[in-house]
Chain A
Amino acid sequence: MSAPRIIEGQRVMATYSTNEFKAGLKLLLDGDPQAIVENEFVKPGKGQAFSRVKLRNLRTGRVLEKTFKSGESVEAADVMDTEMQYLYNDGEFWHFMVPDTFEQYAVGEAALGDSGQWLKEQDICTVTLWNGEPLSVVPPSFTELKITQCDPGLRGDTAQGGTKPATLESGAVVKVPLFVEEGETVKVDTRNGEYVSRV
Protein backbone atom coordinates (compact mmCIF):
# COMPACT_ATOMS: atom_id res chain seq x y z
CA MET A 1 0.00 0.00 0.00
CA SER A 2 1.13 3.51 -0.74
CA ALA A 3 -0.07 4.84 2.59
CA PRO A 4 2.32 6.58 4.98
CA ARG A 5 3.75 4.33 7.65
CA ILE A 6 4.03 5.14 11.32
CA ILE A 7 6.70 3.35 13.30
CA GLU A 8 5.40 2.40 16.73
CA GLY A 9 8.05 0.53 18.68
CA GLN A 10 8.91 -2.51 16.60
CA ARG A 11 5.59 -2.62 14.79
CA VAL A 12 5.08 -0.91 11.48
CA MET A 13 1.53 0.37 11.15
CA ALA A 14 0.12 1.15 7.75
CA THR A 15 -2.48 3.87 7.45
CA TYR A 16 -4.88 4.88 4.72
CA SER A 17 -5.88 8.44 3.90
CA THR A 18 -9.51 9.11 2.92
CA ASN A 19 -8.42 9.70 -0.68
CA GLU A 20 -7.32 6.04 -0.83
CA PHE A 21 -10.66 4.75 0.50
CA LYS A 22 -12.38 2.21 -1.72
CA ALA A 23 -14.63 -0.78 -1.32
CA GLY A 24 -12.85 -3.74 0.23
CA LEU A 25 -10.22 -1.76 2.15
CA LYS A 26 -9.87 -2.98 5.74
CA LEU A 27 -9.52 -0.43 8.53
CA LEU A 28 -9.06 -0.60 12.27
CA LEU A 29 -11.80 1.53 13.83
CA ASP A 30 -13.07 1.62 17.42
CA GLY A 31 -10.80 -1.33 18.14
CA ASP A 32 -12.47 -3.54 15.54
CA PRO A 33 -11.42 -4.52 12.01
CA GLN A 34 -13.90 -3.07 9.51
CA ALA A 35 -14.17 -3.39 5.75
CA ILE A 36 -15.30 -0.53 3.51
CA VAL A 37 -18.49 -1.51 1.69
CA GLU A 38 -19.07 1.84 -0.01
CA ASN A 39 -17.27 5.20 -0.03
CA GLU A 40 -18.88 8.44 -1.16
CA PHE A 41 -17.05 11.74 -1.68
CA VAL A 42 -19.15 14.71 -0.50
CA LYS A 43 -18.09 18.33 -0.90
CA PRO A 44 -19.81 21.67 -1.24
CA GLY A 45 -18.22 23.55 -4.16
CA LYS A 46 -16.53 26.10 -1.96
CA GLY A 47 -16.39 24.08 1.23
CA GLN A 48 -14.96 21.23 3.27
CA ALA A 49 -14.77 17.76 1.70
CA PHE A 50 -15.94 14.61 3.50
CA SER A 51 -15.92 10.86 2.97
CA ARG A 52 -19.15 9.11 3.78
CA VAL A 53 -18.28 5.48 4.34
CA LYS A 54 -20.37 2.35 4.83
CA LEU A 55 -18.36 -0.14 6.89
CA ARG A 56 -18.89 -3.77 7.80
CA ASN A 57 -17.52 -4.73 11.18
CA LEU A 58 -15.65 -7.96 10.47
CA ARG A 59 -16.01 -9.17 14.05
CA THR A 60 -19.74 -8.57 14.53
CA GLY A 61 -20.87 -8.44 10.89
CA ARG A 62 -22.80 -5.23 11.56
CA VAL A 63 -22.84 -2.54 8.86
CA LEU A 64 -22.83 1.12 9.80
CA GLU A 65 -22.05 4.48 8.29
CA LYS A 66 -19.24 6.80 9.34
CA THR A 67 -18.18 10.21 8.10
CA PHE A 68 -14.57 11.38 7.86
CA LYS A 69 -13.12 14.78 7.20
CA SER A 70 -11.19 14.50 3.92
CA GLY A 71 -7.49 13.96 4.45
CA GLU A 72 -7.90 12.02 7.71
CA SER A 73 -5.80 8.90 8.09
CA VAL A 74 -7.01 5.64 9.53
CA GLU A 75 -4.93 2.68 10.64
CA ALA A 76 -5.14 -0.32 8.34
CA ALA A 77 -6.41 -3.55 9.90
CA ASP A 78 -4.01 -6.46 9.59
CA VAL A 79 -6.64 -8.76 8.13
CA MET A 80 -5.80 -11.71 5.88
CA ASP A 81 -7.86 -14.44 4.23
CA THR A 82 -6.13 -17.83 4.36
CA GLU A 83 -7.23 -21.17 2.92
CA MET A 84 -7.24 -23.81 5.67
CA GLN A 85 -8.33 -27.38 6.10
CA TYR A 86 -10.85 -28.18 8.85
CA LEU A 87 -9.42 -30.93 11.07
CA TYR A 88 -11.68 -31.66 14.05
CA ASN A 89 -13.74 -30.24 16.88
CA ASP A 90 -12.57 -30.93 20.44
CA GLY A 91 -15.83 -29.88 22.08
CA GLU A 92 -14.65 -26.32 22.66
CA PHE A 93 -12.57 -25.33 19.63
CA TRP A 94 -12.66 -26.08 15.93
CA HIS A 95 -9.16 -26.82 14.66
CA PHE A 96 -7.90 -25.75 11.23
CA MET A 97 -4.58 -26.24 9.45
CA VAL A 98 -2.78 -24.36 6.67
CA PRO A 99 -2.02 -27.23 4.23
CA ASP A 100 1.32 -25.80 3.03
CA THR A 101 2.86 -25.01 6.42
CA PHE A 102 0.93 -27.40 8.73
CA GLU A 103 0.36 -24.34 10.94
CA GLN A 104 -2.71 -24.91 13.11
CA TYR A 105 -5.36 -22.50 14.40
CA ALA A 106 -8.06 -23.06 17.02
CA VAL A 107 -11.30 -21.21 16.29
CA GLY A 108 -13.78 -20.48 19.09
CA GLU A 109 -17.55 -20.50 18.77
CA ALA A 110 -17.85 -16.68 18.52
CA ALA A 111 -15.58 -16.46 15.46
CA LEU A 112 -17.07 -19.57 13.89
CA GLY A 113 -20.64 -18.29 14.06
CA ASP A 114 -23.14 -20.16 11.86
CA SER A 115 -20.37 -21.63 9.71
CA GLY A 116 -19.94 -24.51 12.17
CA GLN A 117 -23.13 -26.22 11.01
CA TRP A 118 -21.63 -26.92 7.55
CA LEU A 119 -18.18 -28.16 8.54
CA LYS A 120 -17.03 -31.62 7.57
CA GLU A 121 -13.54 -32.86 8.34
CA GLN A 122 -10.95 -32.14 5.61
CA ASP A 123 -13.07 -29.36 4.00
CA ILE A 124 -11.02 -26.41 2.72
CA CYS A 125 -12.39 -23.23 4.25
CA THR A 126 -11.43 -19.55 4.11
CA VAL A 127 -10.29 -18.44 7.56
CA THR A 128 -9.95 -14.70 8.06
CA LEU A 129 -7.11 -13.84 10.43
CA TRP A 130 -6.83 -10.52 12.24
CA ASN A 131 -3.42 -9.95 13.80
CA GLY A 132 -2.96 -13.71 13.45
CA GLU A 133 -6.18 -14.51 15.35
CA PRO A 134 -9.10 -16.21 13.57
CA LEU A 135 -11.90 -13.72 13.00
CA SER A 136 -14.32 -15.68 10.86
CA VAL A 137 -14.65 -18.86 8.82
CA VAL A 138 -16.31 -19.21 5.43
CA PRO A 139 -17.07 -22.85 4.50
CA PRO A 140 -16.90 -24.04 0.87
CA SER A 141 -19.84 -22.64 -1.13
CA PHE A 142 -21.06 -26.16 -1.85
CA THR A 143 -20.71 -29.12 0.45
CA GLU A 144 -21.92 -32.72 0.43
CA LEU A 145 -23.35 -34.03 3.69
CA LYS A 146 -25.14 -37.21 4.81
CA ILE A 147 -28.67 -37.03 6.21
CA THR A 148 -28.65 -38.43 9.75
CA GLN A 149 -32.32 -37.91 10.45
CA CYS A 150 -35.46 -37.20 8.47
CA ASP A 151 -39.02 -38.47 8.37
CA PRO A 152 -39.95 -40.78 5.53
CA GLY A 153 -41.57 -38.73 2.79
CA LEU A 154 -44.89 -39.74 1.36
CA ARG A 155 -45.33 -39.41 -2.36
CA GLY A 156 -47.91 -36.73 -3.17
CA ASP A 157 -47.70 -35.07 0.26
CA THR A 158 -47.36 -31.38 -0.62
CA ALA A 159 -48.63 -29.91 2.65
CA GLN A 160 -45.24 -28.26 3.28
CA GLY A 161 -44.58 -27.15 -0.30
CA GLY A 162 -43.17 -30.51 -1.21
CA THR A 163 -40.27 -30.36 1.26
CA LYS A 164 -39.39 -31.71 4.69
CA PRO A 165 -36.69 -30.86 7.21
CA ALA A 166 -33.58 -33.08 7.25
CA THR A 167 -30.78 -33.06 9.83
CA LEU A 168 -27.31 -33.42 8.31
CA GLU A 169 -24.22 -35.06 9.81
CA SER A 170 -22.73 -31.61 10.51
CA GLY A 171 -25.77 -30.56 12.55
CA ALA A 172 -27.41 -28.28 9.98
CA VAL A 173 -31.10 -28.65 9.23
CA VAL A 174 -32.11 -28.08 5.59
CA LYS A 175 -35.33 -28.45 3.64
CA VAL A 176 -35.14 -31.36 1.23
CA PRO A 177 -37.64 -32.71 -1.33
CA LEU A 178 -39.97 -35.43 -0.09
CA PHE A 179 -38.27 -38.18 -2.11
CA VAL A 180 -34.95 -37.74 -0.29
CA GLU A 181 -34.39 -40.38 2.41
CA GLU A 182 -32.43 -40.70 5.63
CA GLY A 183 -28.90 -42.03 5.03
CA GLU A 184 -28.59 -40.38 1.62
CA THR A 185 -25.94 -37.74 0.87
CA VAL A 186 -27.08 -34.35 -0.43
CA LYS A 187 -25.35 -31.34 -1.97
CA VAL A 188 -26.09 -28.05 -0.19
CA ASP A 189 -25.32 -24.39 -0.98
CA THR A 190 -23.83 -23.09 2.29
CA ARG A 191 -24.34 -19.45 1.33
CA ASN A 192 -28.12 -19.67 1.53
CA GLY A 193 -28.53 -23.03 3.26
CA GLU A 194 -30.50 -24.51 0.38
CA TYR A 195 -30.62 -28.07 -0.89
CA VAL A 196 -29.14 -28.41 -4.39
CA SER A 197 -29.34 -32.11 -5.33
CA ARG A 198 -28.95 -35.71 -4.28
CA VAL A 199 -25.42 -37.02 -4.64
Chain B
Amino acid sequence: MTDWRPGAAPARAARARLLAGLRAFFAARGVLEVETPILSRGAPQDPMLESWEAQAPGGERGYLQTSPEYPMKRLLADGAPDIYQIARVFRGGESGPRHNPEFTLLEWYRLGLDHHALAREVVALIADQAAQSPDWHAPRGCEAIAYADLFRSTLGVDPAETNAAELERVAGDHGLVIRGGLDRDGWLDALISLVIAPGFPPDRLTILFDYPESQAVLARPCADRPGYAARFELYWGDLELANGYHELTDPVVFRSRRKRDIAIRRARGQPLPPADRHLEAALEAGLPDCAGVALGVDRLLMRLLGVSRIDQVIDFPWA
Protein backbone atom coordinates (compact mmCIF):
# COMPACT_ATOMS: atom_id res chain seq x y z
CA MET B 1 0.00 0.00 0.00
CA THR B 2 1.15 3.52 -0.68
CA ASP B 3 2.75 5.18 2.31
CA TRP B 4 0.38 8.12 2.58
CA ARG B 5 1.44 9.35 5.96
CA PRO B 6 3.05 12.80 6.24
CA GLY B 7 6.54 12.34 7.64
CA ALA B 8 7.23 15.26 9.96
CA ALA B 9 4.57 15.08 12.69
CA PRO B 10 7.02 15.86 15.54
CA ALA B 11 7.99 19.15 13.83
CA ARG B 12 4.48 20.29 12.91
CA ALA B 13 3.63 22.43 15.94
CA ALA B 14 7.18 23.79 16.06
CA ARG B 15 6.87 25.00 12.47
CA ALA B 16 3.66 26.87 13.25
CA ARG B 17 5.27 28.38 16.32
CA LEU B 18 8.35 29.46 14.34
CA LEU B 19 6.26 31.10 11.59
CA ALA B 20 4.27 33.01 14.23
CA GLY B 21 7.53 33.96 15.98
CA LEU B 22 9.07 35.29 12.77
CA ARG B 23 5.99 37.42 12.10
CA ALA B 24 6.09 38.76 15.67
CA PHE B 25 9.79 39.62 15.28
CA PHE B 26 9.11 41.76 12.21
CA ALA B 27 5.90 43.28 13.58
CA ALA B 28 7.85 44.49 16.63
CA ARG B 29 10.44 46.09 14.35
CA GLY B 30 7.95 47.72 12.03
CA VAL B 31 8.82 45.62 8.98
CA LEU B 32 5.89 45.19 6.59
CA GLU B 33 4.81 41.73 5.42
CA VAL B 34 4.29 41.52 1.65
CA GLU B 35 3.26 38.89 -0.89
CA THR B 36 4.53 38.62 -4.45
CA PRO B 37 3.75 36.05 -7.20
CA ILE B 38 5.19 32.55 -7.11
CA LEU B 39 4.73 32.30 -10.87
CA SER B 40 6.52 34.74 -13.16
CA ARG B 41 7.12 35.25 -16.88
CA GLY B 42 10.89 35.50 -16.56
CA ALA B 43 13.55 33.76 -14.49
CA PRO B 44 16.93 34.75 -13.06
CA GLN B 45 19.93 33.94 -15.24
CA ASP B 46 22.15 32.88 -12.31
CA PRO B 47 23.95 29.78 -13.67
CA MET B 48 23.90 28.17 -10.20
CA LEU B 49 20.09 28.12 -9.98
CA GLU B 50 17.68 26.26 -12.22
CA SER B 51 14.06 27.38 -12.35
CA TRP B 52 11.09 25.03 -12.59
CA GLU B 53 9.08 25.70 -15.67
CA ALA B 54 5.30 25.81 -15.54
CA GLN B 55 3.00 25.49 -18.50
CA ALA B 56 -0.74 26.00 -18.80
CA PRO B 57 -2.75 23.74 -21.17
CA GLY B 58 -3.22 26.67 -23.57
CA GLY B 59 0.54 26.94 -23.99
CA GLU B 60 1.11 29.88 -21.67
CA ARG B 61 4.48 29.51 -19.95
CA GLY B 62 5.90 30.72 -16.69
CA TYR B 63 8.57 29.98 -14.10
CA LEU B 64 8.26 29.18 -10.42
CA GLN B 65 10.32 31.62 -8.38
CA THR B 66 13.73 30.59 -7.01
CA SER B 67 13.35 33.50 -4.56
CA PRO B 68 11.04 36.55 -4.25
CA GLU B 69 14.02 38.88 -4.73
CA TYR B 70 13.06 40.54 -8.01
CA PRO B 71 9.48 41.58 -7.20
CA MET B 72 10.48 42.62 -3.66
CA LYS B 73 13.12 44.95 -5.11
CA ARG B 74 10.48 46.41 -7.41
CA LEU B 75 8.38 47.16 -4.31
CA LEU B 76 11.37 48.95 -2.76
CA ALA B 77 12.01 50.94 -5.95
CA ASP B 78 8.31 51.89 -5.80
CA GLY B 79 8.83 53.44 -2.38
CA ALA B 80 7.92 50.54 -0.07
CA PRO B 81 9.39 50.72 3.46
CA ASP B 82 11.30 47.84 5.12
CA ILE B 83 9.59 44.64 3.92
CA TYR B 84 9.66 40.90 4.55
CA GLN B 85 8.05 37.84 3.02
CA ILE B 86 7.72 34.19 3.95
CA ALA B 87 7.72 32.62 0.50
CA ARG B 88 7.59 29.21 -1.07
CA VAL B 89 10.44 28.87 -3.56
CA PHE B 90 11.46 26.17 -6.02
CA ARG B 91 14.88 25.07 -7.26
CA GLY B 92 15.41 22.50 -9.96
CA GLY B 93 17.62 19.50 -9.26
CA GLU B 94 18.13 20.25 -5.57
CA SER B 95 17.26 17.20 -3.52
CA GLY B 96 19.19 15.64 -0.65
CA PRO B 97 19.51 15.42 3.12
CA ARG B 98 19.59 19.23 3.37
CA HIS B 99 17.70 20.16 0.20
CA ASN B 100 14.11 19.91 -0.91
CA PRO B 101 13.27 21.37 -4.34
CA GLU B 102 10.37 23.29 -2.77
CA PHE B 103 11.15 25.09 0.46
CA THR B 104 10.22 28.06 2.64
CA LEU B 105 12.37 31.15 2.33
CA LEU B 106 12.20 34.14 4.64
CA GLU B 107 13.42 37.16 2.74
CA TRP B 108 13.68 40.71 4.08
CA TYR B 109 15.04 44.11 3.12
CA ARG B 110 16.20 46.94 5.36
CA LEU B 111 16.61 50.46 4.00
CA GLY B 112 19.88 52.20 4.82
CA LEU B 113 21.59 49.14 6.31
CA ASP B 114 24.72 47.47 4.94
CA HIS B 115 25.42 43.71 4.92
CA HIS B 116 27.25 43.79 8.28
CA ALA B 117 24.32 45.45 10.06
CA LEU B 118 21.84 43.09 8.42
CA ALA B 119 23.90 40.04 9.38
CA ARG B 120 23.67 41.21 13.00
CA GLU B 121 19.90 41.38 12.63
CA VAL B 122 19.86 37.78 11.34
CA VAL B 123 21.77 36.72 14.48
CA ALA B 124 19.25 38.61 16.63
CA LEU B 125 16.36 36.93 14.82
CA ILE B 126 17.80 33.46 15.42
CA ALA B 127 18.41 34.20 19.12
CA ASP B 128 14.87 35.56 19.40
CA GLN B 129 13.35 32.42 17.85
CA ALA B 130 15.56 30.03 19.85
CA ALA B 131 14.25 31.67 23.05
CA GLN B 132 10.66 30.71 22.16
CA SER B 133 10.86 27.29 23.75
CA PRO B 134 13.12 25.75 26.40
CA ASP B 135 13.11 22.58 24.26
CA TRP B 136 14.64 24.31 21.26
CA HIS B 137 18.36 24.43 20.60
CA ALA B 138 20.07 27.81 20.69
CA PRO B 139 23.34 28.69 19.00
CA ARG B 140 26.33 29.32 21.25
CA GLY B 141 28.43 32.24 20.12
CA CYS B 142 28.90 33.88 16.78
CA GLU B 143 31.99 34.63 14.78
CA ALA B 144 32.22 36.98 11.82
CA ILE B 145 35.10 36.46 9.42
CA ALA B 146 35.91 37.78 5.97
CA TYR B 147 35.85 35.16 3.19
CA ALA B 148 39.47 35.96 2.28
CA ASP B 149 40.64 35.74 5.91
CA LEU B 150 38.90 32.38 6.37
CA PHE B 151 40.71 30.93 3.35
CA ARG B 152 44.02 32.36 4.53
CA SER B 153 43.64 31.09 8.10
CA THR B 154 42.29 27.60 7.28
CA LEU B 155 43.97 26.78 3.95
CA GLY B 156 46.77 29.31 3.68
CA VAL B 157 45.64 30.70 0.32
CA ASP B 158 44.28 34.02 -0.87
CA PRO B 159 41.11 33.20 -2.83
CA ALA B 160 41.50 36.27 -5.07
CA GLU B 161 45.01 35.36 -6.13
CA THR B 162 44.79 31.59 -6.46
CA ASN B 163 43.82 29.92 -9.74
CA ALA B 164 41.79 26.75 -10.28
CA ALA B 165 44.83 24.46 -10.62
CA GLU B 166 46.33 25.71 -7.35
CA LEU B 167 42.99 25.37 -5.54
CA GLU B 168 42.73 21.81 -6.88
CA ARG B 169 46.13 21.06 -5.35
CA VAL B 170 45.08 22.61 -2.01
CA ALA B 171 41.92 20.46 -2.08
CA GLY B 172 44.06 17.39 -2.80
CA ASP B 173 46.22 18.21 0.23
CA HIS B 174 43.01 17.98 2.27
CA GLY B 175 41.99 14.67 0.73
CA LEU B 176 39.42 16.17 -1.63
CA VAL B 177 39.52 14.93 -5.22
CA ILE B 178 36.62 15.84 -7.51
CA ARG B 179 35.61 14.26 -10.79
CA GLY B 180 34.58 16.77 -13.42
CA GLY B 181 36.45 19.93 -14.32
CA LEU B 182 35.90 22.88 -12.01
CA ASP B 183 36.73 26.52 -12.55
CA ARG B 184 38.08 28.77 -9.80
CA ASP B 185 34.65 29.51 -8.34
CA GLY B 186 33.76 25.82 -8.46
CA TRP B 187 36.87 24.97 -6.41
CA LEU B 188 36.15 27.79 -3.95
CA ASP B 189 32.63 26.37 -3.46
CA ALA B 190 34.03 22.87 -3.05
CA LEU B 191 36.56 24.02 -0.45
CA ILE B 192 33.96 25.96 1.53
CA SER B 193 31.32 23.21 1.46
CA LEU B 194 33.46 20.11 1.78
CA VAL B 195 36.59 21.18 3.65
CA ILE B 196 36.07 24.42 5.59
CA ALA B 197 32.39 24.48 6.72
CA PRO B 198 32.44 20.88 8.07
CA GLY B 199 35.04 22.19 10.55
CA PHE B 200 32.85 24.98 11.94
CA PRO B 201 31.96 24.36 15.63
CA PRO B 202 28.50 22.70 15.61
CA ASP B 203 26.71 25.19 17.88
CA ARG B 204 28.35 28.35 16.61
CA LEU B 205 26.96 30.86 14.14
CA THR B 206 29.50 31.90 11.53
CA ILE B 207 29.05 35.01 9.44
CA LEU B 208 31.16 34.84 6.33
CA PHE B 209 31.37 38.24 4.68
CA ASP B 210 32.82 39.91 1.58
CA TYR B 211 32.70 37.25 -1.14
CA PRO B 212 34.89 37.25 -4.28
CA GLU B 213 33.36 39.55 -6.89
CA SER B 214 32.94 36.56 -9.23
CA GLN B 215 30.39 35.28 -6.66
CA ALA B 216 28.76 38.66 -6.04
CA VAL B 217 25.39 37.72 -7.61
CA LEU B 218 23.44 40.89 -6.73
CA ALA B 219 25.71 42.34 -4.05
CA ARG B 220 27.42 45.65 -4.68
CA PRO B 221 31.21 45.74 -5.02
CA CYS B 222 33.00 46.33 -1.68
CA ALA B 223 34.15 49.91 -1.33
CA ASP B 224 36.97 48.99 1.06
CA ARG B 225 38.03 45.62 -0.40
CA PRO B 226 38.74 45.66 -4.13
CA GLY B 227 37.89 42.41 -5.93
CA TYR B 228 35.23 41.50 -3.35
CA ALA B 229 31.50 42.11 -3.05
CA ALA B 230 29.34 43.12 -0.07
CA ARG B 231 27.75 39.71 0.40
CA PHE B 232 27.45 37.54 3.51
CA GLU B 233 26.37 34.05 4.38
CA LEU B 234 25.37 32.80 7.79
CA TYR B 235 26.03 29.25 8.97
CA TRP B 236 24.73 27.48 12.05
CA GLY B 237 27.40 24.86 12.62
CA ASP B 238 28.14 23.57 9.12
CA LEU B 239 24.63 24.31 7.83
CA GLU B 240 24.20 27.31 5.56
CA LEU B 241 21.13 29.23 6.71
CA ALA B 242 21.13 32.63 5.05
CA ASN B 243 22.61 34.65 2.21
CA GLY B 244 22.52 38.43 2.13
CA TYR B 245 23.77 41.46 0.23
CA HIS B 246 24.36 45.11 0.56
CA GLU B 247 22.27 45.40 -2.55
CA LEU B 248 23.61 46.29 -5.95
CA THR B 249 21.77 49.40 -7.16
CA ASP B 250 23.84 50.20 -10.28
CA PRO B 251 21.98 49.07 -13.43
CA VAL B 252 25.22 49.13 -15.47
CA VAL B 253 26.90 46.59 -13.17
CA PHE B 254 23.64 44.58 -13.11
CA ARG B 255 23.63 44.36 -16.92
CA SER B 256 27.29 43.34 -17.15
CA ARG B 257 26.82 40.56 -14.56
CA ARG B 258 23.71 39.31 -16.33
CA LYS B 259 25.62 39.24 -19.60
CA ARG B 260 28.34 37.16 -17.95
CA ASP B 261 25.72 34.79 -16.45
CA ILE B 262 24.09 34.28 -19.85
CA ALA B 263 27.49 33.60 -21.43
CA ILE B 264 28.20 30.96 -18.76
CA ARG B 265 24.77 29.36 -19.27
CA ARG B 266 25.31 29.26 -23.02
CA ALA B 267 28.81 27.79 -22.70
CA ARG B 268 27.58 25.05 -20.34
CA GLY B 269 24.52 24.23 -22.41
CA GLN B 270 22.13 25.21 -19.60
CA PRO B 271 18.59 26.35 -20.38
CA LEU B 272 18.19 30.06 -21.15
CA PRO B 273 14.88 31.21 -19.69
CA PRO B 274 13.63 34.66 -20.68
CA ALA B 275 15.03 37.38 -18.42
CA ASP B 276 12.76 39.46 -16.21
CA ARG B 277 13.09 42.96 -17.72
CA HIS B 278 11.24 44.66 -14.88
CA LEU B 279 14.06 44.50 -12.34
CA GLU B 280 16.45 46.19 -14.73
CA ALA B 281 13.90 48.97 -15.29
CA ALA B 282 13.35 49.27 -11.53
CA LEU B 283 17.12 49.66 -11.01
CA GLU B 284 17.12 52.38 -13.67
CA ALA B 285 14.31 54.14 -11.81
CA GLY B 286 16.32 53.83 -8.60
CA LEU B 287 16.55 51.15 -5.91
CA PRO B 288 17.11 52.83 -2.52
CA ASP B 289 20.27 52.02 -0.56
CA CYS B 290 19.37 48.81 1.27
CA ALA B 291 20.49 45.39 2.42
CA GLY B 292 18.53 42.18 1.86
CA VAL B 293 18.79 38.60 3.07
CA ALA B 294 17.11 35.24 2.43
CA LEU B 295 16.97 32.63 5.20
CA GLY B 296 15.96 29.00 4.82
CA VAL B 297 13.11 28.51 7.29
CA ASP B 298 13.15 24.71 7.05
CA ARG B 299 16.85 24.65 7.86
CA LEU B 300 16.42 27.04 10.78
CA LEU B 301 13.75 24.68 12.08
CA MET B 302 16.15 21.73 11.64
CA ARG B 303 18.73 23.44 13.83
CA LEU B 304 16.21 24.65 16.43
CA LEU B 305 14.93 21.07 16.79
CA GLY B 306 18.38 19.50 16.50
CA VAL B 307 17.51 17.23 13.57
CA SER B 308 19.86 16.48 10.70
CA ARG B 309 17.61 15.89 7.67
CA ILE B 310 15.28 18.37 6.01
CA ASP B 311 12.59 15.69 5.55
CA GLN B 312 12.30 15.59 9.35
CA VAL B 313 10.75 19.07 9.24
CA ILE B 314 8.78 18.85 5.95
CA ASP B 315 5.61 16.77 6.06
CA PHE B 316 5.48 16.19 2.32
CA PRO B 317 9.03 16.13 0.92
CA TRP B 318 9.48 15.79 -2.82
CA ALA B 319 11.94 12.88 -2.81
Question: Could you tell me which A residues sit within 8 Å of B by CB distance?
Answer: 19, 40-50, 52, 66-72, 74
Contacts and interface: CB of A to CB of B under 8 A. Distances in A.
Q: DSSP class of B's interface residues: helix, strand, loop or mixed?
A: mixed
B179 A68 contact: yes
Q: How large is the interface on B (under 10, 10 to 19, 20 to 34, 35 or more residues)?
A: 20 to 34
B103 to A, nearest CB: 11
Interface in B222-264: 233, 240, 243
Nearest to B217: A46
B125 interface: no
Interface string B256-298: 0000000000000000000000000000000000000010100
A43 B93 CA distance: 11
Contact of B48 (A40, A46, A74): A46
B53 interface: no
A24 to B, nearest CB: 16
B179 A69 contact: yes
Contacts of B93: 19, 49, 70
A72 B180 contact: yes
Contacts of A67: 176-179, 190, 194
Contacts of B243: 45-46
A41 B98 CA distance: 8
Q: Name which of A43, A45, A47 has the most chain B CB atoms within 10 A of its CB.
A: A45
B46 interface: yes
A128 to B, nearest CB: 25
B186 A48 contact: yes
A48 B240 CA distance: 14
Given A48-B48, A48-B185, A50-B193, A42 B180 contact: no
A134 to B, nearest CB: 28
B185 A43 contact: no
A83 B309 CA distance: 38
Contacts of A71: 180
B185 A47 contact: yes
Contacts of B178: 50, 67-69
Given A68-B179, A69-B178, A69-B179, A48 B190 contact: yes
Contacts of A19: 93
B204 interface: no
Contacts of B49: 46
Q: Name which of A48, A68, A74 has the most chain B CB atoms within 10 A of its CB.
A: A48
B59 interface: no
Contacts of A47: 48, 185, 188-189, 192-193, 215
A2 to B, nearest CB: 15
Given A67-B176, A68-B178, A45 B240 contact: yes
24 contacts: A40-B97, A41-B98, A42-B193, A42-B194, A44-B233, A44-B240, A45-B240, A45-B294, A45-B296, A46-B215, A46-B243, A47-B192, A47-B193, A48-B189, A49-B94, A66-B177, A67-B176, A67-B178, A69-B180, A69-B186, A71-B180, A72-B179, A72-B180, A74-B179
A36 to B, nearest CB: 14
Q: Name which of A41, A47, A50, A66 has the most chain B CB atoms within 10 A of its CB.
A: A47
